[in-house]
Copies of this chain bind each other. A is one copy, B any other.
């Protein structure tokens, strides 16, 4: 049984997902492509030796009878419309983050999906598929460290370009923690505060870097996330959970330990693409498997909405300097 997939958007991420479907995953076949630039599609067909139709209109791809599932990897502002169209066409859809550029857009998708009566949407949050986060969650669920009370996290990039703005620390960077920490704790957020430490001289003049985001959850668990996107030394994701009886820490990526030049050391990644490279494979295979088995278990439209609501509050907190509430409606039973 093979899933026939249509891909909307063949930029860097789209291309990677097409490679995955063609060369890594089981039971996936890319049969249709769309891009605002048709020649990108032609190039990909050649590169991966695909038997795939090229559509000039994404909506035609969505409704094409040979297409069973859609990957949305186009420009962010187009996501909402394509996902809604896929739902309307009764097709499963994997949408790269953001699900929509506003919380209301996400809610529109939630409502459409619920109205359609069936879960069809998976959002491209890959960290819940990372073996490190899965191992961490497993330790939490074993009860070994007791109930979680605090999380100390960091999201560090060696550098970012000049186009990276202060609010992108939330919408592009923190967004991953906003999703994965909800998943890890099974708790929603209730408030956010943002602190601006002394600024690194490596950051653009317009960018506040680093930032510290403080989150509070429904159970009172406190989370601090250091966001430092010009940290220079590497791409480094840290997550430490302090529980009532002990502490558990996200594993460092595997690395050869060396003794050399008076240092005992392991490597730190510098390229973010390598950090979760396996998780992307697992994430997309899970989507394929779930669509084929009819049981969607990945990050849902509701999860996309929850991340968007939290991100909005964090951006508000960036601007106000205050502790901002994060107000979420109760989760519909549909998403349990």
Say yes or no: B267 contacts A263, CB within 8 Å: yes
A26 at the interface (CB under 8 A from B): yes
Which 6 residue pairs across A and B have the least CB separation, nearest first?
A265-B265, A246-B260, A198-B220, A197-B222, A247-B259, A263-B265
State which size class the interface on A falls in. 35 or more
Nearest CB in chain B: distance from A48 CB, A: 13
* In-complex Cβ contact of A210 among B144, B149, B245, B262 (8 A): B149
A232 at the interface (CB under 8 A from B): yes
Say yes or no: B242 contacts A226, CB within 8 Å: yes
Interface stretch of the complex, out of A7-15, A71-79, A249-257, A303-311:
A249-257
Say yes or no: B150 contacts A212, CB within 8 Å: yes
A42 at the interface (CB under 8 A from B): no
A64 at the interface (CB under 8 A from B): no
30 contacts between A and B (CB under 8 A): A25-B26, A135-B255, A139-B256, A139-B258, A145-B258, A149-B199, A149-B200, A149-B210, A150-B212, A150-B226, A195-B222, A197-B222, A198-B221, A200-B244, A228-B242, A233-B247, A233-B260, A233-B262, A245-B260, A246-B258, A247-B260, A248-B257, A249-B256, A249-B257, A249-B258, A250-B256, A262-B267, A263-B265, A263-B268, A264-B268
A247: chain B residues at CB < 8 Å are 233, 258-260
A136 at the interface (CB under 8 A from B): yes
* In-complex Cβ contact of A252 among B212, B244, B264, B270 (8 A): B264
Say yes or no: A220 contacts B197, CB within 8 Å: yes
Task: Give Cα A257–Cα B139 distance, bound, in whole angstroms.
Answer: 10
A201 at the interface (CB under 8 A from B): yes
Task: Using CB atoms and an 8 Å cutoff, list the residues of chain A in contact with chain B.
Answer: 23-26, 131-132, 135-136, 138-139, 144-150, 152, 195-202, 210, 212, 214, 219-222, 224, 226, 228, 231-234, 236, 242, 244-270
Nearest CB in chain B: distance from A227 CB, A: 11
On whether A233 and B246 interact (CB within 8 A), knowing A145-B258, A149-B197, A270-B262, the answer reads yes
Nearest CB in chain B: distance from A214 CB, A: 7
Known: A248-B258, A251-B266. 19 other contacts (CB 8 A): A24-B26, A132-B256, A135-B255, A139-B258, A150-B210, A196-B220, A199-B220, A202-B244, A210-B242, A226-B242, A232-B244, A233-B261, A246-B258, A247-B260, A249-B256, A262-B268, A263-B263, A263-B268, A264-B266
A264: chain B residues at CB < 8 Å are 252, 255, 265-268
Say yes or no: B259 contacts A233, CB within 8 Å: yes
CB-nearest residue of chain B to A135: B256
* In-complex Cβ contact of A198 among B149, B201, B261 (8 A): B149
CB-nearest residue of chain B to A261: B233
Task: Give Cα A249–Cα B152 distance, bound, in whole angstroms.
Answer: 15
